[in-house]
Chain A
């Protein structure tokens, strides 16, 4: 797929820099949409935080090794990790394919995934500082507690980068479904349901029965969200941390392969109506 033009590292840096500039300017134009997105990305973890804290307090202060304070820490960090790893690429692709805008991306000499990654990252440069402030406010209200360990916090940094890559690559592949069907909303919904239960969103994975934990350990969802959260809050042993990081690396490789395969097939079925 590498049509060429970019040889050196400098060229790539320049490419990303220019993309950042464009996206940054665009994002600042759509402040209202950003604001709406932020409301739901804050409200959802806060609701689960409250529900689980209520359950935990009702059970004498602990559910499955989580106190109300632990749940607060879990969901506040979850909100931040989710902020780093989320993508909206599925909606973007449906629109691009339906409207024929993809033609522009196809004539550029670089793989379109690069502009999408730059696009995603630059929007987060805007939203992340705001969410950090929100997280601070939530911490004052809900009093999070966690057993922080220096090594776990260090290991969190690569796990966050890997989580972003896994989620971006998997969702980018999924977004290509738009090439074959116009009913992507049903596909996306199935994906989000799996995400809800298997990423640690509806509850920390360790609260689930054993068989469900096994499924979650094999599929990619936990490595996009739940794993980095548990890691940074010091809830994993060093061995579990290494296993998780290894699983993330495996999923990055698998999904890179998937992206190449599906993209090649997708471009073949694409046709646009021009003027």
Chain B
């Protein structure tokens, strides 16, 4: 209950401070629509030459674009702002203010910043997903819907934990922003099903940088082409990474000495 209240409070403060810059909303809306339009036009170009890309039909690719925007929106809505703020505050020593508050510090750090206008990406992602669902029509049963919800949740947790682990490295190293940048540029590859890629690249995008779990696997679940093992693997990885993230966060905190006085 307390957690929810905290979430709400942080959310409200962030919304208040961001809505002071109203033009930003329209700029973000313009940029998001442009990016989505680009994605869809790109698909149109490719599917004017073929009706299947490595076994993915156009509607299934549409679902993938939806998931890509949804998770991308989640990242820029709160994961990236929070984690960038964490890295800055470790360097400046302002993390002290978080640690002295009587709440779980990992939770506070994770929800401290919300780039509220990025919610546009999230909504556009949902819109595209719904459009894809309508077009796929009767092929989605309750099994697929459940598997999709499960893998999407797992994907979200995996991405969050991965970012937390990278950001926590700032307790040991000074410049880790670069690692986050690398993730952002690798995430671009998630626009396409990882099954297209040759083995070495697929391996990298699955196990070194878990892009596949964030985009391809939920889209696979939705279109009913996921086997049980992959589902279990995604769920297992989510649990393992979440625990690992928590562990590394704790270890890092123990190293943190502040920068005051």
A residues adjacent to B (C-beta < 8 A):
32-33, 35-36, 39-40, 43-44, 46-47, 50-52, 54-55, 58-59, 63-64, 141, 183, 185-186, 189-190, 193, 196-197, 202-203, 207-208
Contact = CB atoms under 8 A, between A and B. Distances in A.
Contacts, number: 75
A193 B38 contact: yes
Given A36-B178, A197-B45, 5 more contacts: A40-B185, A44-B188, A55-B53, A58-B54, A189-B31
B185 A32 contact: no
Contacts of B45: 197, 202-203, 207-208
A47 B189 contact: yes
Interface in B38-72: 38, 41-42, 45-46, 49-50, 52-54
Nearest to A203: B45
B25 interface: no
Interface in B1-55: 23, 27, 30-31, 34-35, 37-38, 41-42, 45-46, 49-50, 52-54
Interface stretch (B133-141, B192-200, B231-239): B192-200
Nearest to A31: B178
A42 to B, nearest CB: 10
B185 A36 contact: yes
Contacts of A190: 34
Interface centre among A32, A39, A54, A203 (most CB of B within 10 A): A54
Contact of B53 (A40, A51, A64, A185): A51
Contacts of B197: 50
A202 B54 contact: no
B182 interface: yes
Question: A-B pairs with the 9 shortest C-beta distances?
Answer: A40-B185, A32-B178, A55-B50, A36-B181, A54-B54, A193-B38, A63-B49, A186-B27, A50-B196
A223 B50 CA distance: 28
Contacts of B191: 47
Main secondary structure of the interface of B (DSSP, over half): helix
Contacts of A183: 23, 27
Contacts of A64: 49
Interface residues of B, number: 31
B175 interface: yes
Nearest to B52: A58
Nearest to A63: B49
Contact of B175 (A32, A39, A189, A202): A32
26 contacts: A35-B178, A36-B178, A36-B185, A40-B185, A40-B188, A43-B186, A43-B189, A47-B189, A47-B191, A50-B196, A51-B46, A51-B53, A52-B46, A58-B52, A58-B54, A63-B50, A185-B27, A185-B31, A186-B30, A186-B31, A190-B34, A197-B41, A197-B45, A202-B42, A203-B45, A203-B46
A82 B55 CA distance: 31
Contacts of B188: 40, 43-44, 47
B25 to A, nearest CB: 12
B198 A43 contact: no
Contacts of B196: 50-51, 54
Contacts of A196: 38, 42
A52 B49 CA distance: 10
Interface string B169-206: 00000010010011001101101100011100100000
Contacts of B189: 43, 47
A36 B178 CA distance: 7
B80 to A, nearest CB: 15
A32 B42 CA distance: 31
